[in-house]
A and B are shown apart, each in its own frame.
Chain A
């Protein structure tokens, strides 16, 4: 299934709970403030990199750009646009937004 996280990992525990709950083979899409987790030097970078062994990780490029963080995206994170967001939703039978 597709997991969507829109919270900064340093503000809320949404990413932590998502990663602890998600089953292998799923996908994680970071949007809005969630994209900060996908940037190098962020305290959450380690756990996100670790999660990449279990699931594909995507981040919304427009949200990274809006926040001035598009130049420091963690290796292994796939950048996507809103059309790709739609494709991810269509490809997975269910999605959960970790609000």
Chain B
């Protein structure tokens, strides 16, 4: 199945992005395709390459990028939400791209299932 995911919260403050990551990884292990993850609201903060967690903590940004690279997931960050919060191409982590809300709707249309993670 083609599964789309929406993430509405930033890293470390809310569990939403952790839950979404573990869900996405399990979906891939089960043979499903996670075509696109859309980052909205504070979820856009999952995409900044300036993120530096302590050594003994998970690197939420990098592990999204790695999962995306390994399994061809389109990581899309909402442009309007991103600009409001200081996320631009210049501080965007590899593997992510900034685009419009249309990408969220398109993902809803093209996916067999759509799951939202937020607060």
B19 close to A86 (CB less than 8 A): no
Identify which of B8, B115, B119 contacts A89 (C-beta below 8 A). B115
A99 close to B118 (CB less than 8 A): yes
Identify which of A32, A33, A62, A95 contacts B115 (C-beta below 8 A). A95
Comparing B20-28, B74-82, B85-93, B97-105, the segment that makes contact with chain A is: B20-28
Q: Chain A residues near B83 (CB, 8 Å)?
A: none
Residues of B within 8 A of A (CB): 1, 3, 8, 15-16, 19, 22-23, 25-27, 29-30, 32, 113-119
Which residue of A is nearest B118, CB measured?
A99
Q: Chain A residues near B1 (CB, 8 Å)?
A: 90
Q: Chain A residues near B32 (CB, 8 Å)?
A: 86, 90
Which residue of B is nearest A97, CB measured?
B116
Q: Which of A46-99 contact B (CB under 8 A)?
A: 62, 81-83, 85-87, 89-90, 95, 97, 99
B115 close to A97 (CB less than 8 A): yes
Cα–Cα distance between A83 and B26 once the two chains are bound (Å): 5
Q: Chain A residues near B113 (CB, 8 Å)?
A: 89-90, 95
Cα–Cα distance between A99 and B32 once the two chains are bound (Å): 25
Say whether A6 faces chain B, with CB atoms less than 8 Å apart. yes
Q: Would you give 20 A-B contacts (Cβ < 8 Å), ordered by A? A: A6-B19, A6-B119, A82-B22, A82-B25, A83-B26, A83-B29, A83-B30, A85-B23, A85-B26, A86-B3, A86-B23, A86-B27, A86-B30, A87-B30, A90-B32, A95-B113, A95-B114, A95-B115, A99-B8, A99-B116
Cα–Cα distance between A32 and B16 once the two chains are bound (Å): 8
Say whether A28 faces chain B, with CB atoms less than 8 Å apart. no
Cα–Cα distance between A85 and B117 once the two chains are bound (Å): 13
Say whether A15 faces chain B, with CB atoms less than 8 Å apart. no
